[in-house]
Amino acid sequence: MRVIMFLVMALMLTPVSAAPVATYEFASEEQEALFNKLSNELRCLVCQNQAISDSNADLAKDLRDEMYGMLQQGMSEEEIVEFMVVRYGDFVLYNPPLKPMTWLLWFGPVFALLAGFFFVVRIINRQKKAAVVEMSSEEIERLKTLQSEAQAVIKSEDNKNR
Amino acid sequence: MTQQANNNKSLLKRLMPLIIFIALVAVLAIGLTLNPRLVPSPFVGKPAPEFELPLLNASGKLSHEDLKGGITLLNVFASWCFACRQEHEAITRLSKNGFRVIGFNYKDKPEDAAAWLRQFGNPYQVVAQDLDGRVGIDWGVYGAPETFVIDHNGIVRDKRIGPVDEEYISEELMPLVQQIRSEQT
């Protein structure tokens, strides 16, 4: 029974690959690697959370064909990315370029982290300070009398024990 | 520090979480109401991409040069596109009101497109056929319907993603048309 359960669970773990089967033939391995790299870095605009490589949308297929054609013509990675950005904007890039428009995107998280760090340090410092309690002069007096009383008790106890 | 200033400071301190919360809600509200499908077209403000396409049910071709000379609406549609039927009435009204509306039949079969236009009416001056969607890629089309507003000089001035409706016409198209006209004089 356990074995069957284990097998069923193992089956559940196998990733279901729904990625479109590539039927392209490449002149070289580098070309194929570049094709795979680019199609993973470019967003499919129809189903926006998928890359061109793993989308079954019609447009994604067209763009794969287009990219394949451009690679066959010997276009470089930069030229192909440029082709896509000119037509669909920076939005097609999963790796957005660094420019004033995207500063918040790039530096926002670092800023948030630093701000959080700053507040944590401030809170810790404040708690440290709060731990040192200032006593009033009456309290100091009272403490002194208590201490001397206690010492007197200890002394008398000592004398008894001897 | 006076008592008053002290009170003010502690009041601010107590209100801080509320202020942060409201700021966060505001930021999230903006973020959540933005439509991620509305990708701004990189062509806005730039000349219309070059192309040449055959016409539907007519000889001759349509090219980017033909778009110049007046305000033109280039309406990307297809017979398989449901939302195109929704906007068809609005597109027809724009056409009747004197807009030059050109159809961009995207990845469609000519006979299907012709039947669709017979059934619902043809508001287009001409219909260009982009059978394989190749020119659509050059225009950054990623679905239908989409509508490009092109001015006299052949510059793309706006791109509507999704169906054209009353709200778009009154709040975006009409002000844009007025602006284009005022630039001319």
Handedness of CA A59, B138, B149, B180 (dihedral sign): positive
CB B48, CB B135: distance < 8 Å: no
pTM (2 d.p.)? 0.72
**Residue that wins the pLDDT comparison between A140 and B37:** A140
What does CATH list as the number for A2-96?
1.10.8.640
B106 → chain A, closest CA residue: A59
Interface of A with B (CB under 8 A): 45-46, 48, 58-59, 62-63, 66, 85-89, 91
Neighbour count for residue B162 (Cβ, 10 Å):
17
Which of B36, B37, B137 is nearest residue A87 as measured by Cβ atoms?
B137
Name residue A50's beta-bridge partners: none
Neighbour count for residue A44 (Cβ, 10 Å):
23
Which of B39, B42, B132 is nearest residue A86 as measured by Cβ atoms?
B42
Inter-chain touch A62–B37, beta carbons under 8 Å: no
B140 → chain A, closest CA residue: A87
Which of B36, B107, B137 is nearest residue A66 as measured by Cβ atoms?
B137
pLDDT value at residue A97: 81
| Order of all β-strands in the sheet with B146-150 | B127-130, B100-106, B72-77, B146-150, B156-161
What does CATH list as the number for B52-184?
3.40.30.10
Distance from CA of B180 to the nearest CA of A (A): 24
The answer, yes or no, to whether residue A18 has pLDDT greater than 60, is no
What residue segments make up the domains of chain B, in order of their start?
1-34, 52-184
Residue from B13, B35, B39, B41 whose CB has the most chain A CBs within 10 Å, to mutate: B39
ipTM of the complex: 0.76
pLDDT single digits (tens) A49-69: 888 888 888 888 899 999 999
pLDDT single digits (tens) A57-108: 888 889 999 999 999 998 999 999 999 999 988 888 888 788 887 888 889 9
Low-confidence ranges of chain B (pLDDT < 50): none
Interface of B with A (CB under 8 A): 36-37, 39-42, 49, 107, 132-134, 137-140, 142-143
Inter-chain touch A85–B42, beta carbons under 8 Å: yes
Which of B39, B134, B139 is nearest residue A45 as measured by Cβ atoms?
B39
Inter-chain touch B133–A63, beta carbons under 8 Å: no
What residue segments make up the domains of chain A, in order of their start?
2-96, 101-161
Residue from B137, B148, B161 whose CB has the most chain A CBs within 10 Å, to mutate: B137
The answer, yes or no, to whether residue A25 has pLDDT greater than 90, is no
- Quickly tell me which residue has 């844009």 as its tokens: B176
Residue from B44, B142, B146 whose CB has the most chain A CBs within 10 Å, to mutate: B142
Q: Exposure pattern of A46-76 as b/e (b: 16+ CB <10 Å)? A: beeebbbbebebebbebbbebbbebbeeeee
Chain A environment of B134 (Cβ under 8 Å): 62, 66
Q: What percent of chain A has pLDDT over 90?
A: 29
Number of continuous H segments (helices) and E segments (strands) in chain A: 6, 0
pLDDT value at residue A15: 53
